[in-house]
A and B are shown apart, each in its own frame.
Chain A
């Protein structure tokens, strides 16, 4: 028995180990063709990543230069030294907005050249940046000095000329050690609600909801950043424009192709630069594509050995083995305009994923806890995924890329933004959005295929101040 086994094993081993057979003709061409595609896709990824990084940097740079963050970080700092043997003034300096100063002017006592009982210390400014005129101009107008121990404020008007070298800021001894850096805005938030004008403003029903919150928290600026993740179900399809070379196929494509349902995702970044207007940007990944429910294909006239399947967004060349596994019969209908076509079982799906950095203007129509916005803008993108597959009974058979797809896209975008604030910093959002590609999807241009999509984004937004 064992010898018999050994015999049969040895028979096959002797014959088959080292056995050679002529490799099929065109095997190298097919292999080389596929490797060329993967090489070009790999190179494209590098360019796409670089483009995405540059776009993001530009976005953040624009945000930085137009935001109040820049102003805040550039606020000049008056470096001060303590000079002994000068009379000390009791009380603490408070600089108020002009309006507030006017409001309190009638209630406070003006008393120039206040001198304290204790030995004085003078804080003298050493340098003030050239672009800062605020300290000097405010000092020229008036100086509000409050003495907490006597619960009163004192305005001094005795500064007639204040230069860069002799600006004097007077402070109580107790706070000198704690406060080394003076800024132009030092309003204590707890002081503000006692102002009747401010309370009146808060009660005004027409007042901006966010502005109210900002002022309540001591923020005078309406600008702010916010960001948050969003996801959306997407219905994507395309419109075919009239084209002299492609019109004969458009009716066929419209008959056999359908839209697809997909998912979109985004990290949204919003910069609010006025009470009503803001700019939306961020990173979006959106899928477009189509589904072909009556697939037929032809042997590639180019002789590559592949099967060519034409769609309105471009041709797909399919490996013969894969194609033959889904092929059901040869097309013999009289309507068949291309001889030698084959019908295919199942549907053929094309997916094109674009990474987009949108620039969308947002206008707040209704501004309450529940706010309504109108959105409009442009969304340029780069292709990050190009695939197609046959789908039959839930099974997917990957078939390769769609040829001649435009690696970049420029979408126009319209939408409505619905925000509901669940706290001062967090809100939930819904954005029904329509997007239409201004650029055709294919570089061939036979069908003038322009993708469009409807998305319903849902997400959370976190606001910064």
Chain B
């Protein structure tokens, strides 16, 4: 894909250039949408709305940084907007979660797939999922997460701790079930 030509075509509103850009990034961006969404249907919606914004705002892409990173940021922001709209006053379950035992990463890697991990992430409450993704996958600080989700830094930290704990338990449980299945 000749990126510059495609961008110029998209700025002019040419459908062929837009289609080329979409096809080039659709699968990767759909992957992003999936782990930011509670289910596949919501992810499809995020992909749709996100790419609409990409084409509406492509004039503002100045070429600083990669186009892929720019599109990815737009899609993540779209997912965050949807989260904020759907969960304005989301009450978190405040029950204590027992800290999970440590997991043997190497052992798990051989038995688990990305789809399995996505399924686990999608089981998290929306706010835990957002905090965990933004911190662990995007590398944002708690201050940045707090601003994006309109929560305090302390809430971000506690949400992250709980999300991690839940995921550790789930991964372990998944690993345990998988191991038993393998043994059978």
Stretch at the interface among A12-20, A111-119, A203-211, A402-410: A12-20
8 Å CB interface, B44-81 against A? 44-45, 47-48, 51-52, 55
Query: For the complex, would chain A's binding face be called helix, strand, loop or mixed by DSSP majority?
Result: helix
Q: Which residue of chain B has its CB nearest to the CB of A42?
A: B13
8 Å CB interface, B96-132 against A? 99-100, 102-103, 105, 108-109, 112-114, 117-118, 121, 132
Contact A7 B44, beta carbon cutoff 8 Å:
no
A35 within 8 A of B: yes
Contact B27 A21, beta carbon cutoff 8 Å:
yes
Q: Which of A14, A18, A321 contacts B44 (CB 8 A)?
A: A321
Contact A13 B168, beta carbon cutoff 8 Å:
no
Stretch at the interface among B1-9, B16-24, B87-95, B141-149: B16-24
Contact B19 A28, beta carbon cutoff 8 Å:
yes
Q: Contact flags (1/0) for A319-335 with B, using CB distance below 8 Å?
A: 10100100000000000
Q: Which of A12, A28, A319 contacts B23 (CB 8 A)?
A: A28
A8 within 8 A of B: yes
Contact A11 B109, beta carbon cutoff 8 Å:
yes
Q: How many of B's residues come within 8 Å of A, CB to CB?
A: 45
A31 within 8 A of B: yes
Please name all residues of chain B whose beta carbon is closer than 8 Å to the beta carbon of A17 when the two chains form the complex.
137
Contact B13 A39, beta carbon cutoff 8 Å:
yes
Q: A4-B103, A34-B52 are in contact. Are A22 and B27 (CB under 8 A)?
A: yes
8 Å CB interface, A23-71 against B? 23-24, 27-28, 30-32, 34-36, 39
Please name all residues of chain A whose beta carbon is closer than 8 Å to the beta carbon of B102 when the two chains form the complex.
3-4, 7
Contact B35 A8, beta carbon cutoff 8 Å:
no
B15 within 8 A of A: yes
Contact B103 A27, beta carbon cutoff 8 Å:
no
Contact A28 B167, beta carbon cutoff 8 Å:
no
Q: Which of A11, A32, A321 contacts B19 (CB 8 A)?
A: A32
Contact B167 A8, beta carbon cutoff 8 Å:
yes
Bound form: Cα–Cα A437–B93 in Å: 57
Please name all residues of chain A whose beta carbon is closer than 8 Å to the beta carbon of B29 when the two chains form the complex.
23
Query: For the complex, would chain B's binding face be called helix, strand, loop or mixed by DSSP majority?
Result: helix
Bound form: Cα–Cα A4–B112 in Å: 18
B84 within 8 A of A: no
Bound form: Cα–Cα A4–B23 in Å: 39
A152 within 8 A of B: no
User: B170 to chain A: closest CB distance in Å?
Assistant: 10
Q: A15-B114, A28-B22 are in contact. Are A10 and B105 (CB under 8 A)?
A: yes
Contact A12 B121, beta carbon cutoff 8 Å:
yes
Please name all residues of chain A whose beta carbon is closer than 8 Å to the beta carbon of B27 when the two chains form the complex.
20-23
Q: A7-B102, A8-B171 are in contact. Are A18 and B28 (CB under 8 A)?
A: yes
Bound form: Cα–Cα A9–B132 in Å: 8
Please name all residues of chain A whose beta carbon is closer than 8 Å to the beta carbon of B112 when the two chains form the complex.
15
Please name all residues of chain A whose beta carbon is closer than 8 Å to the beta carbon of B108 when the two chains form the complex.
11
A5 within 8 A of B: yes
Please name all residues of chain B whose beta carbon is closer than 8 Å to the beta carbon of A4 when the two chains form the complex.
100, 102-103, 168
Contact A30 B26, beta carbon cutoff 8 Å:
no
User: B171 to chain A: closest CB distance in Å?
Assistant: 7
Contact B35 A16, beta carbon cutoff 8 Å:
yes
Q: Which residue of chain B has its CB nearest to the CB of A22?
A: B27
Please name all residues of chain B whose beta carbon is closer than 8 Å to the beta carbon of A12 when the two chains form the complex.
117, 121, 132, 136-137, 167
Bound form: Cα–Cα A5–B167 in Å: 10
Contact B164 A9, beta carbon cutoff 8 Å:
yes
Q: Which residue of chain B has its CB nearest to the CB of A322?
A: B45
User: A392 to chain B: closest CB distance in Å?
Assistant: 15
Please name all residues of chain B whose beta carbon is closer than 8 Å to the beta carbon of A14 when the two chains form the complex.
109
Contact B31 A27, beta carbon cutoff 8 Å:
no
27 contacts between A and B (CB under 8 A): A1-B99, A4-B103, A4-B168, A8-B168, A8-B171, A11-B117, A12-B121, A12-B167, A13-B137, A14-B109, A15-B112, A16-B114, A19-B31, A19-B32, A21-B30, A21-B31, A22-B27, A22-B30, A27-B44, A30-B48, A31-B48, A31-B51, A31-B52, A32-B15, A34-B48, A35-B15, A321-B42
- Contacts A11-B108, A19-B35 aside, 18 further interface pairs with beta carbons under 8 A come to A3-B102, A4-B103, A10-B105, A11-B105, A12-B117, A12-B121, A13-B136, A13-B137, A14-B109, A16-B137, A22-B30, A27-B22, A27-B26, A27-B44, A27-B48, A32-B15, A32-B18, A36-B15
Residues of B participating in the A interface, judged by any CB pair closer than 8 Å = 13, 15, 18-19, 22-23, 26-32, 34-35, 41-42, 44-45, 47-48, 51-52, 55, 99-100, 102-103, 105, 108-109, 112-114, 117-118, 121, 132, 135-137, 164, 167-168, 171
Residues of A participating in the B interface, judged by any CB pair closer than 8 Å = 1, 3-5, 7-24, 27-28, 30-32, 34-36, 39, 319, 321, 324
Q: A-B pairs with the 8 shortest C-beta distances?
A: A23-B26, A9-B136, A19-B31, A20-B27, A15-B114, A23-B30, A321-B45, A4-B102
